[in-house]
Amino acid sequence: MSSALPNSVYARDVEYILHPVTNARKHEEVGPIVIDRGEGIYVYDDRGNKYIEGMAGLWSVAVGFGEKRIADAAYRQLQKLPYYHTFSHKTNAPSVDLAERLVKMTPASVNRVFFTNSGSEANDTVVKLIWYYNNARGKPQKKRFLARTNAYHGITMVSGSLTGLPVNHRDFDLPIIPVTHLTCPHYWRNGLPQETEAQFTDRLIQELEDTIAKEGADTIAAFIGEPVMGAGGVMVPPEGYWPRVQEICRKNDILLIADEVITGFGRVGTTFACEHFGIEPDVLVTSKQIASSYAPLAAVIMSDAIYQVIADNTAKIGTLGHGFTTTGHPVSCAIANENLAIIEERGLIENARVSGAVLQEELAKFRDHPLVGEVRGIGLIAVVELVADKANKTRFDPVGKAGAILFAKGHEHGVIVRAMGDQIAFCPPLIITTDEVREMVRRFGAALEDTY
Ligand code: PLP
């Protein structure tokens, strides 16, 4: 960074910005990469380097970069009505169109939409609405949330409390709400020696039942989970896990919340991952691919049973004391409508199955690599987990060392992946072709060869 000119974007970035999820001192030393433009599955930095965006940004850009139809839709809406709120009986057509579309796309169990700006706000909203619901139906002691270790549900005080990653709690004094983190359903890492996958699943279900017995079902509000964990390491749960969790929740009057912020809109090859796992949640949370992150937007979609209790309570109190300045933002919703139309018209969910099969097949070739512990994934989402000792699954010391080196090497080879510790994630735009998948994995392989 010492070579950067004082008024350059590099120097000013380092001088003025605190970056999220970044080592600030290291950033001061190495400086930023300025992403300047994007097209299809590629992004370009301001020095002319071209990268395959193997993570669709942050698991987001389903339709790829530079989609003109979305830019046009946003421009039309900006000219017509750039902003209006949705408090006090106001609405706008794009938000109504989007809500209807979401209700028609999502599992039949959810049919009422509340919009927020981010996944974190959506999960904060879920906690608030469920507490409100339980208070309203005379069960004020039902407050505790069940989540899992390795879960990622966001970063605000409440959603960050649901998150089960120590780095997101450390020195932030989280969690701040009653939450129990159950074992992450990751057989390869958390299965005991000699335990079969079916026995592992039985053990997790037993843990859930024991926790409910210990805490008391009358103190537990909900179970929240990503159908396939994302930021915690792309963990695909064992067969039968989700239907059994659902059954136990139903039996104990515990709501089931599917956090589909990453998996929603085709990522695993079905419209929602709930379909793939055969579950019908009481609340479904979406964001990211809803608008390909061309604008901030998230949606909480709840069951009619929850809505009816909430609606009665708003009548009793006089209003719903919750909402954001930009809830149902017309431009974000217009962008989402266009984005979802593109996903449908271009058959991108089908493409997630076709290109996803190639992604899983190509990455599986690294299974024999001496530093690869596990390759796992589903559809167009996958992880290659690096280990210091393959036989014992020993992690690198410090954790993340190998991932960080490989991440940087990937840039040299023209591919952006994500290093979550030593877990290297892939989550490319849903438009990626099978040839492009092969090229992306080839670049990753070259970076791996170069590194080790
Ligand atoms: N839930 C899941 C499953 C996520 O992956 C994320 C973000 O990665 C969030 C919630 C939080 O979303 P946001 O970063 O928009 O607040």
Distance 149 CA to ligand 1 centre (A): 15
Quick one: which atom of ligand 1 is closest to the CA of 263? 3
Say what the pLDDT of residue 2 is: 60
Looking at residue 4, what is its pLDDT?
85
> Tell me, what's the pLDDT at 158?
98
Q: How many CB atoms lie within 10 A of CB 303?
A: 20
Report the separation in Å between the CA atom of 141 and the middle of ligand 1, taken as the mean of its atom positions.
Answer: 28
Q: Is the CB of 330 under 6 A from ligand 1?
A: no
Instruction: List, for residues 83-123, the tens digit of each pLDDT value.
Output: 999 999 999 999 999 999 999 999 999 999 999 999 999 99
Q: What is the pLDDT of residues 303-317, one digit of tens each?
A: 999 999 999 999 999
The number of the ligand 1 atom at minimal distance from the alpha carbon of 259 is 3
**Residue 397 alpha carbon to ligand 1 centre in Å:** 28
Q: E-strand spans in 159-245? A: 179-182, 220-225
| 70 and 63 Cβ atoms separated by less than 8 Å | yes
How would residue 438 be classed by pLDDT, with cut points 50, 70 and 90? very high
| 264 Cα: distance to centroid of ligand 1 (angstroms) | 12
pLDDT value at 1 more than 70: no
- For residue 60, the model assigns a pLDDT of 98
- Whole-number Å distance, alpha carbon 154 to ligand 1 midpoint, is 5
- Give the Å distance between the CA of 435 and the centre of ligand 1: 29
Question: Mean per-residue pLDDT for 260-286?
Answer: 98
Place of tokens 């930095």: 45
Q: Residue 381: its pLDDT value, please?
A: 99
Three-state DSSP state, 377? strand
Query: What letters, b where the CB count within 10 A reaches 16 and e where it falls short, cover 163-200?
Result: bbbeebeeeeebbebebbbbebbbbeebbeeeeeeeeb
Find the 212 Cα to ligand 1 centroid distance in Å. 27
How many other C-beta atoms are found inside a 10 Å radius of the C-beta of residue 83?
Answer: 12
Residue 188 Cα to ligand 1 midpoint, Å, equals: 24
How many other C-beta atoms lie within 10 A of the C-beta of residue 287? Answer: 29
Cβ of 117 closer than 6 Å to ligand 1, yes or no, is: no
3 pLDDT band (50/70/90 cuts)? confident
Which ligand 1 atom is at minimum distance from the Cα of 229?
Answer: 3
Tell me, using a 6 A CB cutoff, whether residue 230 lines ligand 1: yes
The predicted model gives 7-16 an average pLDDT of: 97
Give residue 405 CA to ligand 1 midpoint distance, Å: 25
Indicate if ipTM > 0.95.
yes
Total length of the chain: 452
Ligand 1 center–CA 402 separation, angstroms? 25
Predicted local distance difference test score (pLDDT) of residue 429: 99
Give the mutation target among 165, 288, 420 for probing the ligand 1 site: most ligand atoms within 8 A of CB: 288
- Mean pLDDT, rounded, of the chain: 97
Q: What does the pLDDT average to over 202-230? A: 98
Q: Is 259 in the pocket of ligand 1 (CB under 6 A)?
A: yes
Going from the Cα of 119 to the center of ligand 1, the distance in angstroms, rounded, reads: 5
What digits encode the pLDDT tens for the residues 359-412?
Answer: 999 999 999 999 999 999 999 999 999 999 999 999 999 999 999 999 999 999
Mean pLDDT of 261-277: 98
For residues 207 and 183, is the Cβ–Cβ distance under 8 A? yes
Q: How far is the CA of 126 from the centre of ligand 1 (A)?
A: 13
- Judge if the beta carbon of residue 291 lies within 6 A of ligand 1: no
**What pLDDT score was predicted for residue 384?**
98
pLDDT above 70 (res 348)? yes
Task: Tell me the percentage of the chain whose pLDDT exceeds 70.
Answer: 100
Ligand 1 pocket test, candidate residues 261, 262, 274, most atoms within 8 A of CB: 261
Backbone angles phi, psi at 115, to 5 degrees: -95, 145
CA within 13 Å, CB half, 57? 21
Identify the pLDDT of residue 241: 98
Q: Is the CB of 56 under 6 A from ligand 1?
A: no
225 touches ligand 1 (CB under 6 Å)? no
Residue with CA at minimum distance from ligand 1 atom 1? 153
Any ligand 1 atom below 6 A from CB of 374:
no
- Could you tell me the domains of the chain? 33-63+347-451 (3.90.1150.10), 71-345 (3.40.640.10)
Cα-Cα-Cα-Cα dihedral sign, residues 362, 57, 408, 436: positive
> Which residue puts its alpha carbon closest to atom 13 of ligand 1?
119
DSSP per position, 289-309: GGTTTSS--EEEEE-HHHHHH
Query: Is it the case that residue 6 has pLDDT exceeding 90?
Result: no
d(CA 317, CA 310): 10
Average pLDDT score over residue span 314-339 = 98
Q: Which atom of ligand 1 is nearest to the CA of 285?
A: 1
Q: Which tokens is 286 given?
A: 């979406």
Mean pLDDT for the stretch of residues 140-150: 98
Q: Where are the alpha helices (DSSP H) in 191-277?
A: 197-215, 241-251, 273-277
